[in-house]
Structure 1
Amino acid sequence: MMRQITDTILMVRPVGFRMNEQTAVNNYFQTKLEGDDINEIATQEFDIFVEKLRYVGVNVVVVDDVPEDDTPDSIFPNNWVSFHENGQVALFPMFAENRRKERRLEYFAELEEAGFKITDIVDYTIAEEDDVFLEGTGSLILDRVNQKAYCAISPRADEELLIEFCEDFEFTPVIFNSYQTVGDKRLPIYHTNVMMCIADEFAVICLDTIDDKKERKNVVKHLKMDGKEIISITEQQMHEFAGNMLQVQGAEGKKYLVMSARAHRSLTDEQVKSIEKHCEILSSEIQTIETCGGGSARCMMAEVFLPKA
C-alpha cells in the first residue's frame, strides 16, 4: 500500500534568498522587499520552521545551498525533485534559468548517508531545451494512495510532459485550468500547490479558481470518489497561502498539517475544526520568505518517500 504522507522531508537552507526577477514574470504572489538583511531574516524564519518540525518528531534533512550559484529560490526544492517509494527520483525542468542550478545531485548522497536507497533517476530536464516545463510537486499534487496527479496547466506545467510523467510513475492525470485575478484579468496560477493540498483523508482546495464548471466538477468528482473531505477556501485565503499546505507525520505516527502562520490566520474557525478532525495544525511565521519568494510552507518541503537501504 502506498503512503500519502511521510515523516521525512528535505529542506534547503538559503544563502542568497531574495525576490527572483526571473520567476516574477508569472508568479503574481511575489513582492520585492528593500533591505540588505533579506537573506538573514529568511534564514531565521527557515531555522525556526525546521526546529518546530523536528520538535514534533519530523525527520528533517537540511542541506546547505552554495552562494556562488546565485539561486535565490533554492529554499523551494520541491519544484525540481520528487522522491518515490520504489526508490526512483524524478528531476524536473524549470521555467527560470537561474532555478535550474538548484538541481544539486550531491544532496542525494546526503539522503543515502541518512539511510535511504535510490535505485533510479528519471530525468525530464532535457525538456528545457524546448521550453517545456513541469515544476515537480509545485505543478503536481500527488494522491499517492489513489495514484492520481492533479495538475493546473500553466507556463510551468506542460500537459504532454505531465502525461509522460504519469505514464512513467503510474499515475492517472486529473487536468484542469486554474486562474487568479490580477488587476482586471484572469491569469493562470503558476503552481497547482498554491490552490490545492491533498492529505490522507481530506483536501484543501480553492475551487473558485477553476473557472470552467466541467473541470471543477471533474476535480470534485475525483476527490469524492476517493473519500476525501473537501475543505474549500476562498481566493482571498489562497492569496494568504492557505492552499499551500502539506501533511506530514511526526513522532509515534502523529499527523500534522503544516502551513505558514499567515495561512493559519486566514482560516475560519469552521475550516480549522474541519482540519483538526483529521490532524493537528503546525504553523510557523515565514512572512519574508512568502513575500519575496511567492511560495510558502509546502514549497519549502520536498517529501522523501524513498525506501530504507
Structure 2
Amino acid sequence: MRQTTDTILMVRPSQFRKNEDTAVNNFFQTGEDTANNTQELALAEFNTMAQLLESKDVQVIVVEDSGQFDTPDSIFPNNVISFHGTKAVLYPMYAENRRLERNLNVLGALQKAGFSYDQIIDYSIYEDQHQYLESTGVLILDRINATVYCSLSPRANPILVQRFCEDLHYQAVVFEAFQQVDGDSLPIYHTNVMMSLGTTFAVICIDSITDEAQRKVVQQALKDSGREIITISEEQMNHFCGNILELRTKTDGDPLIVMSEQAYKHFTDEQKKKLATHGELVQTPLYTIEKYGGGSARCMIAEIFHT
C-alpha cells in the first residue's frame, strides 16, 4: 500500500465564506468576514492551487459546487469523504450545513472520470446520535502500516474511530491535543492541523498533546513507523505548518509536499531543509481560505487511491 497518490479530488467553491456553524470549535477561523469579495478571492486561490498541482503532474479532478445548497465549506472535501481502493467512505459532519455537501454528487463526478466503487460505507447515520467523525480531517492515515492517528474532539468520536478501524482494518492511536484560545486550553478541532504523515516523514506539534503518557505513545508509534519526525511549535501550527500533504507525480512518482505560502514562510530554514529531503516543496497562497475557512492546503484535497 502506498502512502501517497497522484490523483486528487478538489471542489471549486461557489459561495465560500466564514461558516459560523463551524467557528464554534474551529479556532483557526479568525476575524469577521465583512468583505463582499471573499468568494472571489477564495476562488482565485483555489484556481491557482489546482493549476499549480496540475502543472506538477498531479491529476486533479474538480467538482463544481453549483451553489444550489448552502455549502460554504465545500472547498474542504477531505472532511466529508475518503477513498480506499474500491471503497468510499462517507462521514457524519458536526455542522448541519456541512452535511449538505453530500448532495454535490462527488461519486457521480468520479464515475464520469473513470473511477468506480463497489462498496460505499456510510457513517452519516450517526449524525442522528450526535456522533461525528470528519474523515481525514480527524483521521491521519498511515496507509503503509494500517495505523490511524486521531485527536479526539467534538468532531472525532472515539466509538466511530473504532468502527472505522474495524471496517477498514486499521489500528488506532488515539490521543487528545489542545490549543490555547484566549487563555484557555481547548481541543484542536481536526488532527490534520497539528500533524501530517508522509511516506518517510511526520510533521507534528507534539507539545499540543499535553498528557505525557499519550505523547510518548504517539512518539513511539511514529518512531516505529520509521519516519523522520519534524516537530513544530504551536505558533507554527497556527500558521498551518501541520496542514500539509505529500502527493506524487503521475509520470515518475516523484514526491511533492504541498503546503500554503503562509505555512512555507513559517517553517524554519532547517525544517524546510529536512522536508526537502523527502520531496519537492510546493507552496501556494491561501490566505483568504485559511483566514475565514480555518483550513489550508491539506483540507482542500481528497486523495483518490484507485489501485
Name the structure 2 match of 1:46.
46
Using the alignment, how far apart are the partners of 1:107 and 1:222 within structure 2? 34
Question: Is 1:156 matched up with 2:155?
Answer: yes
Aligned residue number for residue 275 of structure 1 = 275
Deviation of 1:106 after TM superposition, in Å, equals 2.4
- Deviating beyond 3 angstroms after TM superposition, the runs of 4 or more aligned structure 1 residues are none
Which digits, 9 at most, give the CA deviation of each residue in 1:94-141, with x for residues without a partner? Answer: 000000000136221221222222111000001000100000000100
1:122 alignment counterpart: 121
Report the aligned-residue RMSD. 0.8
SS of the residue 1:121 aligns to: strand
Aligned to 2:247: 248
SS of equivalent residue, structure 1 residue 128: helix
Alpha-carbon displacement from aligned partner over 1:138-188 (angstroms, at most 9, x marks no partner)? 010000010001000000000011000000000000000000000111000
1:246 partner amino acid? L
Partner of 1:91: 90
Stretches of structure 1 that go unaligned for 5 or more consecutive residues are none
What corresponds to 1:306 in structure 2? 306
CA distance in 2, matches of 1:296, 1:198: 16
Match of 1:65 in 2: 65
- After TM superposition, the score normalised by the length of structure 1 is 0.97
Asked if the contact 2:78–2:135 (Cα under 8 Å) also holds between the matched residues in 1, the reply is yes
Partner of residue 219, structure 1: 218
d(CA) in 2 for partners of 1:98, 1:199: 31
Please give the alpha-carbon distance, in whole angstroms, between the structure 2 residues aligned to 1:119 and 1:224. 35
**Deviation readout 1:214-265 (Å, 9 max, x if unpaired):** 1010001001101011000000000000000110011411111100000000
C-alpha distance in 2, partners of 1:110/1:25? Answer: 32
Quote the Cα distance in structure 2 between the aligned partners of 1:109 and 1:146.
30
AA aligned to 2:252 is E
More moved, 237-246 vs 24-33: 24-33
Q: Secondary structure at the match of 1:19?
A: coil
Instruction: Give the secondary structure class of the aligned counterpart of 2:271.
Output: helix
Q: Contact between 1:118 and 1:306, CA under 8 Å: does it hold in 2?
A: no
Q: Distance in 1 between matches of 2:100 and 2:255?
A: 33
Structure 1 position 81, deviation (Å): 0.2
Gaps of 5+ in 2: none
Instruction: Give the structure 2 partner of residue 8 of structure 1.
Output: 7
Shift of 1:206: 0.3
CA distance in structure 1 between the partners assigned to 2:176 and 2:233 by the alignment = 17
Amino acid at match of 2:175: F
Mapping of 1:123-272 within 5 angstroms? 123-250=122-249, 251-272=251-272
Give the equivalent residue in structure 2 for 1:24.
23
The SS at the match of 2:103 is coil
The CA distance in 2 between the partners of 1:169 and 1:126, in whole Å, is 18
TM-aligned CA distance change 1:35 to 1:105, over 3 Å: closer
Alpha-carbon shift at residue 306 of structure 1 (Å):
2.3
* Comparing 93-102 and 61-70, the one that deviates more: 61-70
State TM-score, norm by structure 2. 0.98
Equivalent residue pairs, number = 305
Q: Give yes or no for contact 1:88–1:306 (8 Å, CA) kept in 2.
A: no
Report the Cα distance in structure 1 between the residues aligned to 2:132 and 2:306, rounded to whole angstroms. Answer: 24
